[in-house]
Structure 1
């Protein structure tokens, strides 16, 4: 059963380009250590609100891969850079763990 991480956060409107560049770079690091897929969704009603969804083979491989990812010095720098892009009025990052039960072709 696939393991899914879901994050919600708010990005400053004038920082979207930087945010997307950070995500592209971070994805390359994740790909070194994990078999993963990512999706970034921007709210239509609140353009500062983003949802990030990441799929992994299973929770065990996620945990093992994340140990390696978190040792990467570049990922630490990218996370610090990411936190600077958060909306100061909503600096929290909500995180949830899920299991993929059913999936159909999305497109």
Structure 2
């Protein structure tokens, strides 16, 4: 399983809008790829979020993302998402993982 992990900081008063954007983005993604996403909010820093998305494999992810990124609405949603980031912590950290079978 291919896993994407994103870390970013959302303004505390923008969390409702953040989830509205995530919901609309998920609808677009579902047209092209099956995924499962988990959102984690830090207890120590309420602006800090982790977004963990699982995909069947990296090849399908890459192929599908090309199609997702051609959607005009996804570009608008990403701009809206960026406007929710904490101004002094605008960085979005993105990492790729491979999920290994557990015990």
Q: TM-score, normalised by structure 2?
A: 0.97
The Cα shift of 1:72 comes to 0.4
1:38-84: CA deviations, max 9, x gaps?
11110011000000000001000000000000000110000000000
Q: Where does structure 2 lack aligned partners over 5 or more consecutive residues?
A: none
- After TM superposition, the runs of 4+ consecutive aligned structure 1 residues lying more than 2 A away are none
The Cα shift of 1:103 comes to 5.3
Counterparts of residues 50-89 of structure 1 (less than 5 Å) = 50-89=49-88
Q: Give the total of aligned pairs.
A: 103
- Counterparts of 2:101 and 2:94, CA distance in 1: 21
The Cα shift of 1:89 comes to 1.1
State the SS of the aligned residue for 1:97.
Answer: strand
- Counterparts of 1:83 and 1:90, CA distance in 2: 11
Task: Quote the RMSD (CA, aligned, Å).
Answer: 1.0
Counterparts of residues 1-107 of structure 1 (less than 5 Å) = 2-102=1-101
Shifted more, 11-20 versus 95-104: the winner is 95-104
Q: Where does structure 1 lack aligned partners over 5 or more consecutive residues?
A: none
Q: TM-score, normalised by structure 1?
A: 0.94
- Counterparts of 1:82 and 1:92, CA distance in 2: 12
- Counterparts of 1:102 and 1:82, CA distance in 2: 33
